[in-house]
A and B are shown apart, each in its own frame.
Chain A
Amino acid sequence: MQKNWWKILASVLILYSVIAGFLFEVPRLPILHESIRNLYFHVPMWFTMIVLYLISVIYSIKYLSSGDEKHDLIAVEMVNTGIVFGFLGLVTGMIWANFTWGSPWPNDPKLNSAAIATLMYMAYIVLRGSMDEEQKRAKISAVYNVFAFPVMLVLLFILPRMTDSLHPGNGGNPGFNSYDLDSQMRLVFYPAVIGWILIGVWIANMRYRTRLIEINS
């Protein structure tokens, strides 16, 4: 049980974020209205995805220096789980955009970059599937991953900032700092982010362990 404390922490944080996310006061803003509460659920999906991809690229680099098959397996399962969170982020963002911006996909630079980044990581999975030889597959996909990660960061955080974007945090739009003037939202937002990141790592960890069992038996 001592090893599992972070799983319990993740559960408590997520439950707290759901309950407090619905019941706490939020700033009153036109257009957004109560949908501002989506901040507690939509944004943590992306943060989780980025952290999972970060762990993945760390293990890809480790694989390249060690050649240990386990490092390669961790890298794959982190990406597999990260893609799920990326899709959740895209779909929740589309629902939110439909009711605040008037269209689910207003061809905004942030949205298009996010879609390209997701496709890039799907290409990682396709690349792995195209090779049968295990060592070659692990090595080539690790190199691909090392290149994909910085490109993903540029797509999500740099390119949208250089043009105009509807999405907060881009093109002169302030980030969520403008919403939480009373900083009450941070009380829910940060626990939600930490909780979802832990849940993402947990799911990826379980997928990695099942892979190990598959190999060993």
Chain B
Amino acid sequence: MRVVLLSLLSIIFTSFCSFAQNTDQVEMADGLRASGMIYVVVAVIAVIILGMLIFLFGMDKRISKIEKSVSNKN
């Protein structure tokens, strides 16, 4: 019985150890940001967002224009 208990405990503790190691070495994209090309991706997304925002501003302007012409007619 005692042997079983001890071996169970040792299994549990070793699993704790392996968990601790895992959290120590969480994979992150450090290398990418340091020397890789993450800035390229940021630039691409910034261009997409900027383009959509300019599109929104254009739509807004067009609606204002139509609003004006409609109110002039009435």
A interface residues (Cβ-Cβ under 8 A, vs B)? 4, 7, 11, 14-15, 18-19, 22-23, 28-30, 33-34, 199, 202-203, 206, 209-210, 212-213, 216-217
- Is the pair B70, A216 in contact by a Cβ cutoff of 8 Å? yes
In the complex, the chain A residue whose C-beta lies closest to that of B73 is A217
Query: Which residues, 18 to 41 on B, are CB-close (under 8 Å) to A?
Result: 22-23, 26-29, 33, 38-39, 41
Residues of A within 8 A of B73 (CB): 217
What count of chain B residues pass the 8 Å CB interface test? 27
Decide yes or no: A22 and B42 within 8 Å by CB, A28-B26, A33-B27, A213-B70 being known contacts: yes
Interface of chain B, helix or strand or loop or mixed?
helix
B50 at the binding interface (Cβ < 8 Å): yes
Q: Which residues of A contact B53 (CB under 8 A)?
A: 11, 14-15
- Flag if A213 contacts B28 (CB, 8 Å): no
In the bound complex, residues from chain A placing their C-beta under 8 Å from that of B67 are: 209, 212-213
Which residue in chain A gives the minimum CB-CB distance to B66? A213
A7, A18, A29, A212: the one within 8 Å of B57 (CB): A7
- A206–B22 contact, CB under 8 A? no
Residues of B at under 8 Å CB distance from A?
22-23, 26-29, 33, 38-39, 41-42, 45-46, 49-50, 53, 56-57, 59-60, 63, 66-67, 70-71, 73-74
- Least CB separation from B56: chain A residue: A202
Cβ of B23 to closest chain A Cβ, rounded Å? 6
Q: Which among B33, B50, B63, B67 has the highest number of chain A CB atoms within 10 Å? A: B63
The 4 closest A-B pairs by CB, nearest first: A28-B26, A11-B53, A22-B42, A209-B63
B42 with A19: CB separation less than 8 A: yes
A28 with B28: CB separation less than 8 A: yes
In the complex where A29-B26, A30-B26 touch, is A18 in contact with B49 (Cβ < 8 A)? Answer: yes
Please state if A15 and B49 are interface contacts (CB–CB under 8 Å). yes
With A and B bound together, what is the CA distance between A203 and B57 in angstroms?
Answer: 10
| Residue from A14, A23, A206, A209 in contact with B49 in the complex, judged by beta carbons closer than 8 Å | A14
Q: Known: A11-B53, A18-B45, A34-B28. Contact between A216 and B74, CB under 8 A?
A: yes
